[in-house]
């Protein structure tokens, strides 16, 4: 690696083109954050140069311009790229693209003002000097874009040729930052000169041009063929705005491909990676400190499924780098695989349609429950071809994940080791022969502790179901209602948004006024009965779903008032047998708990039920 300080004129006037690689971020510098400070630095440097020249003119001395301190712009890192015979020399800008791009826009804005002045006096030759810093000779290149000193990243190349023309581009609808920067620097130059006129104005403008040419200096780091460009990129970007995990991984993948001379890299980018520039992929998901961009989550899903080891977003970059170092995949093959996972991920999360209703429902429930550690397994299953995994087997595998997690949730079983559990299931499945993948997943989950029907039933009949978060209660009750509707041949199919319903206690929590205990109980019996009722009222047998039309004013009233309201809620199948009860008691709650536990066992079957085809 060779580092040397050059003036802008020394690095920009020779016939060469600086190319911003595909992996680089879009242009992000702004007026408030960078442009104004840059022009202030230029104006200050030019004023010092003008003062030295003016003093020399007044004293009839030779200007001692070496006394004028240069302004240091920072550093750029470049690597030599191969170029065809007859073409200009090419440099890939590994780091410093924001700085180098802004310098080009500054020079273009300054040139706009120079062209407005008299080219025969102090400004003679200055327009030519500036033009040589933003363009090569038209007859020196092998391809049309060789005329430009800088060739921006892929997304911005449509703007650049028009922007470098003398006429100001007319594309105002989008207010591209390139155009805004050019106009700002031209405007700032005019403001700097507005207090001067005649020859003084021209001399001030000449000082601006000469300051850019010779006093604006930059360190150029040229890489040798043995330098690790990625390591240098990482070190230099440690001082920049923090990049997301997906930004770092993209840089890693495409930088390596760039230096491996991967052919048609931009076409590969367009085909496989450009989709991740969409707003949907940039949205952050999760809550609080656990919020991550969807691209970051997808990459952890893909790498977990690919390597068979759990990868979190926090250690994503190092894990991707280890994967590239050890597996050495071809860039296009890697990106093709990632693109398949992207489609699968969107299907799991409901952003793309899934034709199979039961699969779609299972995905929705698992996403709502936040079972994120299962997503690598679910996404991997979606990427398998039909001859390796039939639709029926895929349904079995996904329902196994749903049944395993919902049963454990209802029973309040630990979730701490879910990541390792689903990775183990994934490994088993990847080792299985075609046709045995679903069985391998079911076996792995069963060995991790899949609650039995008896355990499920006991939890539903006797545990405090109301302890669950509201969305979890609605999900379980909604699933039971949906199954009851499907089991009743008299019922027409219906789509109900269970998320909009509310959970209602049948026997109210405030029961003492309108639901008195039998008068004949003695004090001990009354205490016991009161305790039993308090336990019973939060069990699933005493909970149901009602619509917003349910008359909340009767919630705490007696059964004679509540029963007619449940009769009006017959659009929810859970409420049909409730309204048929003449009285409601602890025995009613127990009996309904039995019924619902049987329905739950059918909604979320055990392994033998799944593999038996039910």
- Taking the domains of the chain in order of start, what are their residue ranges? 2-237, 243-353, 460-611
Give percent of the chain above pLDDT 70: 94
| pTM of the predicted model as reported, rounded to 2 decimal places | 0.71
**297 within 8 A of 282, measured Cβ to Cβ:** no
pLDDT band at 133 (very low <50, low <70, confident <90, very high): very high
Which of 71-85, 269-283, 530-544 is predicted least confidently?
Answer: 71-85
CB atoms within 10 A of CB 522: 8
pLDDT tens digits, 194-204: 999 889 999 99
pLDDT at residue 240 is higher than 60: no
Between residues 170 and 435, which one has the greater pLDDT?
A: 435
Query: What's the pLDDT at 234?
Result: 55
Burial class (CB in 10 A: 0-12, 13-18, 19+), 61: exposed
Q: Categorize the per-residue pLDDT at 484 as very low, low, confident or very high, splitting at 50, 70 and 90.
A: very high
pLDDT over 80 at 542, yes or no: yes
Predicted local confidence at residue 585, as pLDDT: 93
Q: Got the DSSP string for 263-291?
A: TTHHHHIIIIIGGGGSHHHHSEESSGGG-
CA pair distance 76, 99, nearest whole angstrom: 8
pLDDT tens sequence across 411-421: 999 988 999 99
Instruction: Give the confidence band of 548 by pLDDT, cuts at 50, 70, 90.
Output: confident
Among 3-17, 29-43, 150-164, 476-490, which is the least confidently predicted range?
150-164
pLDDT for residue 176: 86
Cβ contact 368:471 at 8 Å: yes
Per-residue model confidence (pLDDT) at position 175: 77
pLDDT band at 1 (very low <50, low <70, confident <90, very high): low
Residues 6+ apart with CB under 8 A from 442: 396, 397, 400, 607, 610, 611
What local confidence, expressed as pLDDT, does residue 614 receive? 40
CB under 8 A, 24+ apart: contacts of 224-231: 224/1, 224/2, 227/1, 227/79, 229/77, 229/79, 229/94, 229/255, 229/259, 230/255, 230/256, 230/321
Among 240-244, 271-275, 452-456, 477-481, the range scoring the smallest mean pLDDT is 240-244
Q: Lowest-confidence range among 139-143, 148-152, 311-315, 437-441?
A: 139-143
228 pLDDT higher than 70? no
Query: Mean pLDDT throughout 301-305?
Result: 97
Q: What is the pLDDT of residues 490-541, one digit of tens each?
A: 888 888 899 999 999 999 999 998 999 988 999 999 999 999 999 999 999 9
For residues 548-573, give the mean pLDDT: 91
In contact, 321 and 328? CB cutoff 8 Å: no
Kindly tell me the sign of the dihedral angle through the C-alpha atoms of 184, 186, 189, 193.
negative
For 352-410, write each residue's pLDDT tens digit.
999 999 999 999 999 999 999 999 999 999 999 999 999 999 999 999 999 999 999 99
> How confident is the model over 80-90, as a mean pLDDT?
80
d(CA 66, CA 148): 31
Could you identify the residue written with the tokens 């330098």? Answer: 227
Q: Answer with the residue of higher pLDDT: 448 or 551.
A: 448
| DSSP code at position 574 | T
Query: pLDDT at residue 233 above 80?
Result: no
Q: Give the pLDDT band (50/70/90) at residue 82.
A: confident
* Mean pLDDT, rounded, of the chain: 90
Contact between residue 204 and residue 50 where contact means Cβ atoms under 8 Å apart = yes
* Per-residue pLDDT at 239: 46
Whether the predicted pLDDT of 4 surpasses 50: yes
Q: Which has more confidence, 522 or 118?
A: 522
What pLDDT, on the 0 to 100 scale, is given for residue 592?
Answer: 97
Angle in degrees, CA 314, 283, 296, rounded to 5 = 25
Query: What's the pLDDT at 58?
Result: 87
């Amino acid at each position: 690696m060779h580092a040397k300080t050059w003036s802008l004129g020394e690095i920009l006037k020779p016939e060469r083109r600086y190319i911003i690689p595909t992996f680089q971020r879009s242009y992000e510098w702004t007026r408030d954050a960078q442009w104004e400070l840059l022009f202030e630095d230029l104006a200050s440097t030019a004023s010092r140069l003008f003062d030295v020249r003016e003093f020399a003119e007044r004293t009839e001395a030779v200007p001692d311009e070496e006394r004028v301190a240069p302004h240091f712009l920072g550093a750029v890192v470049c690597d030599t790229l191969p170029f065809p015979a007859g073409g200009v020399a090419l440099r890939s800008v590994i780091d410093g693209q924001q700085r180098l791009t802004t310098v080009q826009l500054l020079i273009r804005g300054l040139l706009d003002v120079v062209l407005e002045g008299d080219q025969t006096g102090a400004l003679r030759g200055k327009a030519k000097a500036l033009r040589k810093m933003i363009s090569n000779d038209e007859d020196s290149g092998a391809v049309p874009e060789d005329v430009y000193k800088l060739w921006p990243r892929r997304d911005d190349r449509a703007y650049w040729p028009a922007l470098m023309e003398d006429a100001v581009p007319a594309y105002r609808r989008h207010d591209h930052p390139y155009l805004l920067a050019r106009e700002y620097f031209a405007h700032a130059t005019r403001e700097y000169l507005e207090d001067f006129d005649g020859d003084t104005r021209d001399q001030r403008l000449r000082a601006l041009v000469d300051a850019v040419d010779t006093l604006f200096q930059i360190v150029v780091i040229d890489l040798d063929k043995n330098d690790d460009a990625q390591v240098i990129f990482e070190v230099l970007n440690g001082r920049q705005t923090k990049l997301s995990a997906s930004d770092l991984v993209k840089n890693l993948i495409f930088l390596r491909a760039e230096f491996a001379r991967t052919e048609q890299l931009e076409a590969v980018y367009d085909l496989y990676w450009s989709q991740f520039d969409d707003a949907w992929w940039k949205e952050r998901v999760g809550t609080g400190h656990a919020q991550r961009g969807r691209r970051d989550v997808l990459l952890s899903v893909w790498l977990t499924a690919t390597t068979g080891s759990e990868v979190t977003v926090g250690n994503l970059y190092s894990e991707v780098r280890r994967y590239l170092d050890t597996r050495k995949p071809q860039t296009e093959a890697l990106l093709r695989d990632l693109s398949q996972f992207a489609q699968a991920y969107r299907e799991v999360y409901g952003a793309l349609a899934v034709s199979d209703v039961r699969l779609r429902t299972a995905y929705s429930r698992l996403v709502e429950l936040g079972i994120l550690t299962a997503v690598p397994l679910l996404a991997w299953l979606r990427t398998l071809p039909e001859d390796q995994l039939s639709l029926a087997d895929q349904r079995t595998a996904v329902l196994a994940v749903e049944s395993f997690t919902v049963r454990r949730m209802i029973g309040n079983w630990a979730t701490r080791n879910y990541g390792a559990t689903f990775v183990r299931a994934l490994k088993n499945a990847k080792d299985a022969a075609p046709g045995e993948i679903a069985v391998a997943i079911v076996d792995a989950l069963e060995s991790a502790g899949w609650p039995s029907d008896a355990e499920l039933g006991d939890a539903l009949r006797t545990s405090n179901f109301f302890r669950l978060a509201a969305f979890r209660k609605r999900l379980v009750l909604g699933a039971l209602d949906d199954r009851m509707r499907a089991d009743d041949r008299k019922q027409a199919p219906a789509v109900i948004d269970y998320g909009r319903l509310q959970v209602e206690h049948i026997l109210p929590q405030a029961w003492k006024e309108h639901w008195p205990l039998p008068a004949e109980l003695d004090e001990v019996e009354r205490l016991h009965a009161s305790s039993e009722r308090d336990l019973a009222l939060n069990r699933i047998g005493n909970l149901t779903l009602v619509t917003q039309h349910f008359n909340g004013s009767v919630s705490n009233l007696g059964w004679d008032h509540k029963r007619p309201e449940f009769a009006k809620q017959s659009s929810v199948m859970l409420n049909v047998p409730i309204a048929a009860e003449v009285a409601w008691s602890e025995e009613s709650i127990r009996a309904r708990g039995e019924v619902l536990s049987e329905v739950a066992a059918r909604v979320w079957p055990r392994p033998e039920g799944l593999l038996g085809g039910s």
